Each structure stands twice: as C-alpha cells, then as structure tokens.
C-alpha cells in the first residue's frame, strides 16, 4: 500500500483522539500537538507493519503547508512491556518534538524510530515513585 496523501490514512487506527496530556512545551489535545508557535503536529493514527507499529503524524507549518512524518516502535517493546500501547502516540510525538527542536522546525527525515533508551527514559519519568509505607510511619510515631 502506497502512503501518499491524506487518503493513505483512511485505514489507520486512531483510538486516542480524545487523549489530552500536557508535558513541558508539548500539548496533546484532541490529537493535535502544538510543537511551537510555528509548527502544529497532529497524530493521525497507526498501522502495524511487520515487526513495528508505525505512528503517522501531519505537520502544518506557518506557511500552511502540510507534511507527513512517521515514527516506529518495535512490536517487541509492547510484548516485553517496555511500552504501553496507550503511551505510544505520546512517546512518538515527543520524539518528533525533539527532532523539530533540534532541526529548527525542519527535521532531516520524515521517518524515525523510537530507541530502547527513549522508551526507558519515558517509563522512568512516568513511573510513580514508591512512598514509605504508612505502617512504618505509624511505628515512628509510637515512640
């Protein structure tokens, strides 16, 4: 299947359209991510492609022109619980945000892969830190 133009996204799944998350300067709302005042990124959907899941985004620049970008995550990462399916669009959007920040709004490529290190960083940043148990706290107060 050839992926040229918006019609190529007709078969993609987008169950995350209502997700709303704010992280640093990236705002994810109704599938739109505002990367900067100059660039607006929209999550379009994903497609399973062999050993990877490919997440599709469109980018609208200040001139109104649209471009397509694709970010992949290895299926093994989901199977091995290194990433949750529901976190993948956000992880991919963060990857694109970094690419735009590094490339002055013009990344050198339209296709990227999320690395194991990026998945580990995301998981670490989003894993709740354990708190001391309340029973240990009560024992301290008895003295």
| pLDDT level of residue 109 (50, 70, 90 thresholds) | confident
**Structure token pair of residue 31:** 């599938």
CA distance 135 to 130: 14
| pLDDT level of residue 131 (50, 70, 90 thresholds) | low
User: Which three-class secondary structure state does DSSP give residue 97?
Assistant: helix
What is the reported pTM? 0.65
Position 87 pLDDT exceeds 90: yes
CA distance 100 to 91: 14
Section 97-105 average pLDDT: 75
CA distance 34 to 25: 8
CA distance 46 to 79: 17
How many CB atoms lie under 10 A from the CB of residue 41? 24
Question: How confident is the model over 56-75, as pLDDT tens digits?
Answer: 999 887 777 888 999 999 99
């Amino acid at each position: 299947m050839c992926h040229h133009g918006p019609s190529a996204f007709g078969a993609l799944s987008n169950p995350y359209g209502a997700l709303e998350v704010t992280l640093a300067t990236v705002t994810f709302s109704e599938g739109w991510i505002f990367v900067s005042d100059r660039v607006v990124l929209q999550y379009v959907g994903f497609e399973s492609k062999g050993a990877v899941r490919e997440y599709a985004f469109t980018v609208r620049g200040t001139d109104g022109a649209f471009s397509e970008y694709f970010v992949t995550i290895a299926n093994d990462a989901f199977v091995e619980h290194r990433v949750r399916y529901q976190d993948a669009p956000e992880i991919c959007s963060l990857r694109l945000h970094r690419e735009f920040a590094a490339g002055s709004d013009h990344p050198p490529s339209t296709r990227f892969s999320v690395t194991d290190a990026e998945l580990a960083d995301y998981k670490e940043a989003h894993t709740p830190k354990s708190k001391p148990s309340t029973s240990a706290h009560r024992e301290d107060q008895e003295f």
